[in-house]
Amino acid sequence: MPLRSRQRCHAALTAVLALATAAVLSAAPPASAADTWNEVGSDRADPLTESQGLTSVEVPAGSPNHYTGIGTIPADVSGRGWNHVGDPDASYDGHYVEPYQADSGNAKMYRVQAPDGSWSEYVHTLGSGEALNNSWVAISPDGQWMLSGEYGTMSRFLVFPTPGVNAATSPSANLPQVSTVRLDHAVRDVQGCDFSSPTTLLCSSDDPEGSLFGMTKPLLQVDLSAAPNGTSDVSGHVTALRQLPLRSACSGTFEAEGIDYDRRDGTLRVIVVSPGFCVLTDSKTYRFTRG
């Protein structure tokens, strides 16, 4: 084929590929107006103690939000290899759960504070094909079931009995996975999820690529086919609602972190860590309300 013809063919192929890529990126279902979350403010997120996750705590009344970061890991916990903490959650009755992971091994750990202030640890031995990382937990509104997520590109969330709340759990026994949320659309690098209703999850994704939903760092909504019950799998319909705020005095890669839906006033909070040196100065916990 003459050089000029090959050039024209290459240009045409490039145009076709560009159109195909645009079609893929726009394929994610649009969010409805009722699912719009509008930014209403922000607070500085301390990089040591507020950079991994957060949760609102309803019991006892007037409790402050709980945050996690590398600076919140107790020395005795990190000394035993549990050196990463993820996005926590709290049950309606005041049980507070933090997810932990180690650099290696075949288990993950959930550290639980009871309403009386006492702490206990529940270890889960990995199942076949289960990732070691332990990014987040989300406790169902009835308190009995806890969802947990794996980092990377995933099409499922794991379901456990809530440690310390569900009577089937004990610190001296393996915490079993009892069922699965099977997603209808792959998600990437989910850093936190929280229930906004018995069958609705809001999730923060640190997706750096953007090919799954046509945007990087999306706020996701997962609508479940039924409330988790620990005996059977449920399906989850995934929708990308919006891109999380990516604003900083520094340029570079942001990191979307944990999320919390405060049932008391309907406020959604998401942590976004700034790039470079600005991790110290303008990382934020952004606040949203439903539009």
Return the closest-CA partner of residue 284 out of 86, 47, 38, 63: 47
Q: What is the pLDDT of residues 131-178, one digit of tens each?
A: 999 999 999 999 999 999 999 999 999 999 999 999 999 999 999 999
Res 14 pLDDT > 50: no
Question: What mean pLDDT is predicted for residues 213-218?
Answer: 98
The answer to whether the CB of 136 falls within 8 A of the CB of 99 is: yes
The number of beta carbons lying within 10 Å of the beta carbon of residue 123 is 16
**Omega cis (within 30) before 275:** no
For residue 5, the model assigns a pLDDT of 39
For residue 290, the model assigns a pLDDT of 96
Q: What is the pLDDT of residues 247-291, one digit of tens each?
A: 999 999 999 999 999 999 999 999 999 999 999 999 999 999 998
Q: What is the pLDDT of residues 231-253, one digit of tens each?
A: 999 999 999 999 999 999 999 99
Contacts of 151 (CB under 8 A, 6+ apart): 131, 133, 135, 189, 190
Token duo for residue 217 = 């760092």
For residue 35, the model assigns a pLDDT of 62
Q: pTM of the prediction?
A: 0.88
Res 30 pLDDT > 60: no
Q: Provide the CATH number for the domain formed by 31-290 in this structure.
A: 2.120.10
Res 221 pLDDT > 80: yes
Listed by start position, the domains of the chain span 1-28, 31-290
